[in-house]
Structure 1
Amino acid sequence: MLPHQRQWARIEFRELFAGNHGCAFEDLFDRLMELCHPGYVAVRTHGNIGDLGCDGLGLHDRTLYACYAPETVDVREIRRKFRSDLLSAVTQRPEHFENFTFVHNDPRGGVHPVVSGLLVEAQRDYPNLKFHELNPRKLWNRAVRLDEVGMALLLGVPEIPVQEVVYGVGLREIQPLLDHLREERKRLSGALSVAPPPATKLAYNALNDDYVDAITAGLKLSHVIDDYYARVADLTEHDEVAAGFNAHYQQVRAEHPGDPDAVMWEMEVYVLGNRRPLRELQVAADAVLAHFFERCDIFDRPPAEWQPGQPHGWV
């Protein structure tokens, strides 16, 4: 796919997976896995035997998938669902799998702290099995490998637009994001001094093509954020929000060492908050992220002597 097609597909994917829960989410997951992995078999409940703790099986890699995609998080239900599926699987179909993968719909790219603990406990209790989790970010990383026909089938559209789609984004669309940033910003003393990034910054930070496309497109709208801040009465607000961006970036980078794509995903969540990422809002988020990326409030500036092909800043 062309860069603008991949960008369009990413936004559609986010909106589709954010708006479906329960069985609808499982159907989307089945569709994705069947397109990406020929050895995947979707499992449906049957009579009084249920699904034997399994929502899908990977025949080639002997992986069992258990999905949990609620509209609201209930810690007790998470525990019940995880333990119930795992116990049912190891009791009723132990010869069918070596990997147990918990699939969930948390858009923040990680798992609820309770789930992380359950995964650790399960690995301890069943040392002969391997445990994994799949979140929407990892699902997109699989989907992005599809060709145009496969992506259209996944998204349920006739075709992926060939012509570049231009979304009108102005101050009205940016405003809710900036309101959210003002709530989240970390107030630091003094003003920040930042400069535009060198042309090699994207390469130095080893972001995948998906995020390179998003930042490149977002830079075209960076002037909208400049226009916004030119109109606010508080002259320090821009630097305060930038400080919040930088502080949050440093925190999530420490949580995801060596994984720039996970960090960028977390920064998107920081911008969008808990809002469902509708198409126009996602484009606006890309513009905000590109703006602070350009200012070097997030991600690293390469050394002056660095050249593409040399070790990047996340090694």
Structure 2
Amino acid sequence: MTRDERTISRILFQKKIHEADGQKFEDLFSAIMNYKEPDFTQIKPWGNIGDRKNDGCILGKGIYFQVHAPEDVKKSYHEIIKKIQTDFSGLQSHWGNIQEFYYVLNDKYKGVNADALQLLETIKQSNSLKECKFIRANDLENMLYSLDDDQIMAITGHIPDPANLASLDYGILNEILDHLKGKPLNNGIEKIVAPDWDEKINFNNLSINESVRLTNGYFQLGTLNEYLKNNSDFTAQELQNKISAMYQELAKSYSGSELFWELVSEVSPRSSAEYQASSIVIMSMYFETCDIFEEPVQ
């Protein structure tokens, strides 16, 4: 599967995730697990005994899964906490040899509440489990892309020829820029220490203007980091590859401040202040990691 085909298949998969509530999500999870783990068994409710708090398991290994797909995960976290407690207690009542417990939650790439995360850790410690944690949308996407191409397409559906989609903007970079645009970027999700990159600024012949913009962008990384954390490994890797490739190509013809602003223009799909500001936030991440601009010679 080419990068373009994988990017398109990812869009198809994310559409399924956003549309999958209730049983539809459980069936999507089970379809992936049936390919990934041959010994996985989906448990369907049966008569008046239900599923005994077990939506799927790898019985021989003592691994159990409970699946939940609320319409809005951010409004449902009190319900999620209560359901985790009830489901695990019910699981213990009916099943033995519980070594690992996974709460499969369709968070629709929004993340989970810290209280729910702590609850699973408490269950793990209290019951001496090997593992007890969430499986979220980004985890399912990572699992999907560990499969063979034909298995991926069986899950996502037919992948159109990228050559026939020339007018469709399906790039991950633009997806992220659209997410950042208009968001309160300085959201305080994590503490960020001011980078000490004066030497690199000088070595690359960048001015105080570019230095200030990169520093401001770096302090606004909270929303970008949260987005990447809640998405698949492919998303972060593809973004890094894209920005690095743009820089390498532009560096053949430009340098210094001119290179900086050419890169801003290349990253940003539009020449608006909003898009450019979001582009510089992304650039600040890769300036710090040395994916763009040169590291000073020691």
1:269 corresponds to which residue? none
Task: Give the Cα separation in 2 of the matches to 1:108 and 1:177.
Answer: 16
Q: Deviations over 1:203-241 (max 9, x none)?
A: xxxx96664445556877975764623x55xxxx66754
1:103 corresponds to which residue? 104
Q: What is the identity, as a one-letter code, of the residue corresponding to 1:43?
A: I
Aligned positions of 1:234-253 closer than 5 A: 241=278, 245=281
2:29 corresponds to which residue? 29
Matched, 1:300 2:272: no
2:119 corresponds to which residue? 118
Q: Secondary structure at the match of 2:64?
A: strand
The counterpart of 2:94, out of the listed 86, 92, 95, is: 92
Report the TM-score, using the length of structure 2 for normalisation. 0.65
1:53 corresponds to which residue? 53
Task: Give the Cα separation in 2 of the matches to 1:208 and 1:101.
Answer: 20
Q: Deviations over 1:59-108 (max 9, x none)?
A: 3532100111100232331122111110111111123x311111111144
Task: Give the Cα separation in 1 of the matches to 2:139 and 2:45.
Answer: 26
Whether contact under 8 Å (2:264, 2:276) holds in the other structure is no
Aligned positions of 1:155-304 closer than 5 A: 155=156, 157=157, 159-161=158-160, 163-164=162-163, 165-169=165-169, 181-186=181-186, 191-193=209-211, 211-213=236-238, 216=241, 223=265, 226=268, 228-229=270-271, 231=272, 241=278, 245=281, 292-293=282-283, 296=285, 300-301=289-290, 304=295
Distance 1:297 1:184, change over 3 A: farther
Whether contact under 8 Å (2:101, 2:132) holds in the other structure is yes
Identity, % of aligned positions: 20
Distance 1:160 1:31, change over 3 A: same
Whether contact under 8 Å (2:121, 2:133) holds in the other structure is no
Task: Give the Cα separation in 2 of the matches to 1:4 and 1:175.
Answer: 14
Whether contact under 8 Å (1:122, 1:131) holds in the other structure is yes
Task: Give the Cα separation in 2 of the matches to 1:227 and 1:27.
Answer: 38
Q: How far did residue 120 of structure 1 move?
A: 2.2
Q: Deviations over 1:100-136 (max 9, x none)?
A: 1111111446422221121122123212453122111
Report the TM-score, using the length of structure 1 for normalisation. 0.62
2:17 corresponds to which residue? 17
Q: Deviations over 1:35-54 (max 9, x none)?
A: 21111100011122111111
The counterpart of 1:76, out of the listed 75, 78, 86, is: 78
Q: What is the identity, as a one-letter code, of the residue corresponding to 2:40?
A: Y
Distance 1:168 1:144, change over 3 A: same
Task: Give the Cα separation in 2 of the matches to 1:24 and 1:53.
Answer: 18
Q: Does 1 or 2 have the higher relative contact order (CA < 8 Å, sep 6+)?
A: 1
Q: How far did residue 169 of structure 1 move?
A: 3.7
1:256 corresponds to which residue? none
Q: How far did residue 21 of structure 1 move?
A: 1.1
Task: Give the Cα separation in 1 of the matches to 2:45 and 2:287.
Answer: 47
Whether contact under 8 Å (1:186, 1:241) holds in the other structure is no
2:141 corresponds to which residue? 140
Whether contact under 8 Å (2:265, 2:276) holds in the other structure is no
Q: How far did residue 137 of structure 1 move?
A: 1.1
Whether contact under 8 Å (1:192, 1:239) holds in the other structure is no
Whether contact under 8 Å (2:267, 2:279) holds in the other structure is no
Distance 1:59 1:6, change over 3 A: farther
Q: Deviations over 1:169-223 (max 9, x none)?
A: 49xxx69955953341339xx854379xxxxxxxxxxx96664445556877975
Whether contact under 8 Å (2:22, 2:70) holds in the other structure is yes
Q: Secondary structure at the match of 1:182?
A: coil
Whether contact under 8 Å (2:180, 2:278) holds in the other structure is no
Task: Give the Cα separation in 2 of the matches to 1:109 and 1:61.
Answer: 30
Provide the aligned length of Structure 1 versus Structure 2: 236
Distance 1:299 1:94, change over 3 A: farther
Comparing 174-183 with 12-21, greater Cα deviation is found at 174-183
Q: Secondary structure at the match of 2:182?
A: helix
Instruction: Give the CA RMSD over aligned residues.
Output: 3.9
Q: What is the identity, as a one-letter code, of the residue corresponding to 1:300?
A: T
Q: How far did residue 168 of structure 1 move?
A: 3.1
Q: Deviations over 1:237-263 (max 9, x none)?
A: 6675467x3xxxxxxxxxxxxxxxxxx
Whether contact under 8 Å (2:45, 2:51) holds in the other structure is yes
Structure 1: 5+ residue stretches without partners: 196-206, 246-291, 307-315
